[in-house]
Structure 1
């Protein structure tokens, strides 16, 4: 190799060789992010080549975004005299069959390509059953999963991508044939203990690659409330993982010295207190949510209403940040350029079975980020959905271009069918077409207040009136009942006096902030109009006040420090822009609604301009892949279910080349759902840390019934 392995990488190579030479024929390399798993795997490929020229190829499966990175690493890290013959089996590279692929030292492919091959294999199986004498055509031949496709070694990078055993990708991976198998992932348990089963099933570690055996020994007892069963199963799991898994973190020591030397990070909880109005709002929402959740508990329907429960929790989390957020200020990036008529027409195209399925759903959970979503983006024709921000990510062409694959098309995360960004609708329009009686009063008003071509009925250059939404419009009334679901009060605002424009002509109703925010994504004039309204009627919140206080203190202590501010809610970042602008802070913005060039410029300006002190980042858009090591201060405005997502966000600053100690400020409201989210995070960290025997667990499970009850505060513990 052209590069000198670090000490922990040498030990990693020794472990990888030992695993291949042992009875398991592989294992899980679970080193933390940034410790060089790719380099260690490459060293193994060079150190243990196949002696059989007919079975010499290492197959590497990774996300499409890592294809070019693997190619570069292989090219740059290997001396020319030992150069490996590499082929990328993806896009235009899929013309080869296995007889050609077996001539390469390394074949790179993606999870999506593997899933498509599995689909083709099943179709061929059906065709063969109908005609046993049929000979496959060139298009029907399998290059990865055929009977003759025998690989020397298989390495799955980012192996958490096969954590769901029900997906085509996971099923295809488990059908691959090879002598040796490895998983590489910093998060071997991303959601639940079941995620680990999928990796063990791929590795063929007996007897636990059998699901029944795995559930008997680990699955059921680790989910049990019986402490004795739980403890015994955990010990057994530790023994298993010690035999098949190697994990080191940034805090791990070798010979008493840390693996890498960067200044430490300091994480501090900053508790703040609601204003009186915020407190009234939050407690009303919490009481109403508890009533609804208790009813689900009594009826035994928590599972069936899981998506709806997540939405209830979403509103509580929003109320902790700012009152305006629960009035659906957040915008879905569904189809910013599609008119209302087009979205209605698309909703009408859904088949009867898809319509029936969507009608039965009680709330929605995004299959990518696992968060609750009120108005999901719905794909045509499959009817599957995601939250708006995740939709923006999977349909962003710049991500494919950055990965060196301009021909890549987005796929539905559930059925892997092609997703066309212009052929989507959302749940609000679905309801208007198929369930008009389910529309809330506010949704109905908003949809009626949009012209046929989807344009704003207001003039962007006109001045807004002084009247606007106040906290009065968000307060939950005292008369709480055990009613179906929960909708924030919409009809208790003081009625505005009607205004007339011209001769007897009534002026169109003023648009809500939610509508203006959605329209602000179209162009600069619309964005300015939205920000003017936001500034004119702006209200602060406890979190915004605390954030500004922290920023002032940072600058007073050291005027050269830069700060990154993360939030799950882009609308909270909008609201924070007002005091930042008022106090003349120089700041940048990074979120999924921005064009790729604008995001790149924002990162460049933040890193290169000393006067730029603050970067506002959407947690989902910027938690990974960014290098922002010029920042040494990080503010997390709201906690997320998965602490790994927050850790990735913090690692934008706390990474190699960081010269300063990184300070992390987590702004929380005491005695709310946020405290319970933090407690749940810590519980999950402890569980995973115990299982992996390293103090760096990176996971949170899909929330169980006891955990949901704890989050709503209807039980004291979990």
Structure 2
């Protein structure tokens, strides 16, 4: 074709494109005339989407009309459920059955943690119909044994399989059970081996995941906010499960950013909210399908011509405009969406059903000692200098993890200087790590290791075992499972790093000359005051830093407290044994728990006091830890004490918590108009959309 022919063809193509685009341009002009302003990018996308996908035109209805809520309806549980449901649980059972009969085929049960027992409500749902096998429950490790106990205790004739640890069953064998339970970590690992494979020798081997080879009747995600980041392998593993019905259970479905809700909507497969749409043709998909990264596998259009409906209608307007104009409309759309797929009751709304005692949250403020202040200010100056360097070089975004690490060190310094000065990576640590007995927390001169990998001084563990009655089976004083240890074994040498790897910070300290900190002494003062009032009061102590729990255990045992600990490396059986040890032994009054290992899915109503050693960026995590004791079964007033050191980074964290809490309460409130009013001008856009790094997890 000659040059003239090419020009003619190009002109004809341009004319056809212009004619095709004219209807869209006409709609845009009419919208601008009506709104009396330019259209936002999201609104321009909406015009194209509504034109090529007419089914989207009436998705939201009339935003000005608000949300009408039907009166709650109750449903009696099947007689095979061995307990009586409370009124709010009967309401949720009816709602769950209605949701499964509708287009969502499931939904989110998002009651506040004080309106608890998702497991009981889910068991009632499983029993509400002729038995269909199998259903899958995905939960944090710490919750697996609780689920198992509740199903076996309350569901008549139900068979349960815990797919965790050694000896996991094959897919065909799993189909024989009514309920299969798996942790998020195990599910993710099985999916990763299937998708990416694992190395065996010099070869990469892919292994089909039994979890993804079964067509489940129901999949239930307990503590569903574990998949809040859509790009993580845990979220992708959950998305890939095949089931007829899907449920998300979480008291905190929204923790940091509105965008986190997308992962839950995506898991539920909400149509159209979870789908990707083409702006130039009727193409629509639940997956981002661009095999060659240039063209859609279905329609051939580029990635730029495709958009996620959730991002376009809700997330982007809120991120860009906050609560003004298009952002306000997007917030109303979010409320409409959640009303269709989520049921949430608060403890205030259901106070008569729950009969919960009052909960009081106080902040005890302390002050650095002169030595601590000098160390903190030195670290602060170093941190500010490094931060200023990143700003000057324009590399702040490339060094986000480094900045987060610097801030974490400041938080640790506010807890105890040793967390910074005696960390494994600290330049100040000069001595070799020593073996520390887990019974006396002193240097173990003659150290031996139990089968559960806890290290003891030979004399200490010998005396401990001799103290048991001959008919009693001794249990490990750390994890409280049956103790297996060879008292005649050769002593562990300090150089055997493999056996000493879990010794932690105490192995790097001179314990004979060790000094406490302001934060620890605040904790000891509070617990001693409680002990003087009533020696039977039980308390939970939370920290996100395992080393801080090590120091707290050492200091509290010196002060004469009987303690136990929940550690991240415990098996489900060991965790359960430790929890039972705390609940059933009156002399054990303090339970040390890491936020990550035990901030969710525990029922510890024997305790009535909670102490938070360090403030977390996300207030929802702290409220989850408080709710370990403020739940059904608690009959005593609950006191929560946050220990904060003045003139430190902790004061700034409390301010950030207030902003995030306002955002969460507004997004999940029942009344959308009052919800918008809760968000004051001081709540900046970072609270809605921008990422705060690892601090949000």
Q: Is the 8 A contact 2:161 2:177 kept in 1?
A: yes
Query: Partners of 1:610 and 1:89 in 2: how far apart?
Result: 34
Could you tell me whether the CA contact under 8 Å between 1:45 and 1:58 is conserved in 2? no
Q: Does 1:171 align with 2:236?
A: yes
Taking a change above 3 Å as real, the CA distance of residues 593 and 78 of structure 1, as seen in their structure-2 partners, is: closer
Bigger drift between 29-38 and 149-158 goes to 149-158
Q: Report the equivalent of 1:197.
A: 262
Match of 1:236 among 329, 333, 340: 333
Q: CA, structure 1 residues 534+594, in 2 after alignment: closer, same or farther (shift >3 Å)?
A: farther
Q: Which moved more, 1:156-165 or 1:86-95?
A: 86-95
Match of 1:41 in 2: 122
The counterpart of 1:95, out of the listed 166, 170, 189, is 170
Q: Does 1:672 align with 2:648?
A: yes
Whole-angstrom CA distance in 2 between matches of 1:116 and 1:629: 33
In the TM superposition, residue 2 of structure 1 has moved relative to its aligned partner by 2.5
RMSD after superposition? 4.7
Equivalences for residues 54-453 of structure 1 within 5 A:
57=133, 59-63=135-139, 65=141, 70=147, 73-79=150-156, 83=157, 94-97=169-172, 111=184, 115=188, 118=191, 152-190=217-255, 192-210=257-275, 212-224=308-320, 226-228=322-324, 229-249=326-346, 251-254=347-350, 257-327=351-421, 329-330=422-423, 441-442=427-428, 445=430
| 537, 545, 565: which one aligns with 1:590 | 565
- Taking structure 1 as reference, are residues 314 and 177 closer, same or farther at Cα in structure 2, changes over 3 Å only? closer
Q: 1: distance between equivalents of 2:504 and 2:235?
A: 44
Taking the aligned partners of 1:675 and 1:248, their CA distance within structure 2 comes to: 31
* Corresponding pairs, count: 507
SS in structure 1 opposite 2:381? helix
Larger CA Rg, structure 1 vs 2? 2
Q: Deviations over 1:496-549 (max 9, x none)?
A: xxxxxxxxxxxxxxxxxxxx9998984999999877x3342x334332343333
In structure 2, relative to structure 1, the CA distance for the partners of 1:159 and 1:625 (3 Å cut) is closer
| 1:636–1:119 CA distance, 2 compared to 1 (3 A) | closer
Structure 2 distance, partners of 1:84, 1:576, is 42
Residue aligning to 1:19 = 99
Change (3 A) 1:118 1:231: same
CA distance in 1, matches of 2:194, 2:575: 41
TM-aligned CA deviation for residue 204 of structure 1:
2.0
Against the structure 1 CA distance between its residues 70 and 622, is the aligned structure 2 distance closer, same or farther, given a 3 Å change threshold?
A: closer
Equivalents in 1 of 2:543, 2:341: separation in Å? 37
**Matches of 2:265 and 2:356 in 1, distance apart?**
34
- Cα distance per residue 1:350-374 (max 9 Å; x no partner): xxxxxxxxxxxxxxxxxxxxxxxxx
Deviation at 1:572, TM superposition (A): 3.9
Query: Structure 1: which 5+ residue stretches go unaligned?
Result: 51-55, 125-138, 332-374, 376-439, 452-458, 463-515, 712-718
Counterpart for residue 298 of structure 2: none
* Match status 1:683 vs 2:659: yes
Q: 1:521·1:527 contact (CA, 8 Å) conserved in 2? A: no
Aligned to 2:354, what secondary structure does the other structure show?
coil
| SS across alignment from 1:253 | coil
Following superposition, the deviation at residue 592 of structure 1 comes to 3.0
User: Once the 2 structures are TM-superposed, how far is the Cα of residue 632 of structure 1 from its aligned partner?
Assistant: 2.5
Match of 1:271, SS state, is: strand
Using the size of structure 2 for normalisation, the TM-score is 0.61
User: In structure 2, the residue corresponding to 1:639 is in which secondary structure?
Assistant: coil
Offset at 1:300? Answer: 4.0
Residue 537 of structure 2 corresponds to 561
- Gaps (5+ residues) in structure 2? 1-80, 198-205, 277-307, 436-442, 447-493, 679-684
CA contact (8 A) 1:460 1:526 kept: no
Flag the 1:103–1:605 CA change in 2: closer, same or farther, 3 A. Answer: closer
Change in 2 beyond 3 A, CA 1:117/1:599: closer
Change (3 A) 1:517 1:587: farther
Of the structure 1 ranges 56-65 and 263-272, higher mean CA displacement relative to structure 2 is found in: 56-65
Q: 1:541 aligns with which of 499, 517, 540?
A: 517
Distance in 2 separating the partners of 1:169 and 1:303? 25
Task: Note if contact 1:25-1:181 (Cα within 8 Å) is conserved in structure 2.
Answer: yes
8 Å contact 1:162–1:169 — kept in the other structure?
yes
Q: How many Å separate the matches in 1 of 2:635 and 2:495?
A: 38
CA shift for structure 1 position 171: 3.0
Partner of residue 631 from structure 1, selected from 599, 607, 611: 607
Contact 1:270 1:666 in 2 (8 A): yes
Query: Kindly tell me: are residues 520 and 318 of structure 1, through their superposed partners in 2, closer, same or farther at Cα, counting changes over 3 Å?
Result: farther
Report if aligned partners of 1:89, 1:109 keep a CA contact under 8 Å in 2.
yes
Separation in 1, partners of 2:348, 2:581? 34
How far, CA to CA, are the matches of 1:530 and 1:142 in structure 2? 42
The alignment status of 1:2 with 2:79, answered yes or no, reads no
CA distance in 1, matches of 2:247, 2:502: 49
1:283 and 1:604, CA in 2 relative to 1: closer, same or farther beyond 3 A? same
How far apart are the structure 1 equivalents of 2:566 and 2:159?
39
Do the aligned partners of residues 555 and 314 (structure 1) sit closer, same or farther apart at CA in structure 2, a change above 3 Å counting?
Answer: same
How far off its partner does 1:446 sit? 5.1
Alpha-carbon contact 1:570-1:591 (below 8 Å) kept = no
Aligned 8 A contact 1:19 1:25 in 2: yes
Residue 418 of structure 2 aligns to a residue whose secondary structure is: helix
Secondary structure in 1 matching 2:657? helix
SS at match of 1:325: helix
- Partners of 1:664 and 1:704 lie apart in 2 by 28
Asked if the contact 1:568/1:619 (under 8 Å) is kept, the reply is yes
Which residue is 1:427 aligned to?
none
Secondary structure of the structure 2 residue equivalent to 1:47: coil
CA distance in 2, matches of 1:618, 1:186: 19
Shift of 1:184: 2.3
**Conservation of the 8 A alpha-carbon contact between 2:567 and 2:593:** no
Cα displacement (A) at 1:104: 6.8
Instruction: Report the CA distance between 1:74 and its aligned residue.
Output: 4.3
1:611 & 1:142 partners in 2: Cα distance? Answer: 45
Deviations 1:221-253 (A, max 9, x none): 33336441443322221121111101224x142
* Matches of 2:122 and 2:647, distance apart in 1: 47
1 CA distance for matches of 2:242 and 2:625?
A: 37
Contact 2:246/2:268 (<8 A) preserved:
yes
Per-residue CA distance 1:115-141 (angstroms, 9 max, x = gap): 5665677589xxxxxxxxxxxxxx988
* Residues in 1 aligned to 2:264 and 2:512: alpha-carbon distance in whole angstroms: 51
Deviation at 1:13, TM superposition (A): 0.9
